[in-house]
Amino acid sequence: MGISPTGRAVTVSVIDIMRIASGKAVERWGAEDNLGMMMQLGVAPPPGQAAGAP
């Protein structure tokens, strides 16, 4: 993505949903909060703030 290392620790929320059939996982859906991670790293502006604003 072209983002330099920040050295910052982040917390990322993730949800995984699996469909089980005959005792086996046959489908998986997942979503990660990538925007929240980018905001914590300081490479995306918080909601309501324009990109590049102080």
**Side chain identity, residue 9:** A
Please compute the mean of the pLDDT values over residues 24-37 and round it to a whole number: 96
pLDDT of residue 54 exceeding 70, the answer is no
What pLDDT score does 16 carry? Answer: 96
Pairwise CA distance, residues 44 & 15, whole Å? 22
Bridge partners (DSSP) of residue 14 are 32
Instruction: Give per-residue pLDDT as tens, 11-20.
Output: 999 999 999 9
What pLDDT score does 52 carry? Answer: 64
pLDDT of residue 34 exceeding 80, the answer is yes
pLDDT of residue 37 exceeding 70, the answer is yes
pLDDT of residue 53 exceeding 70, the answer is no
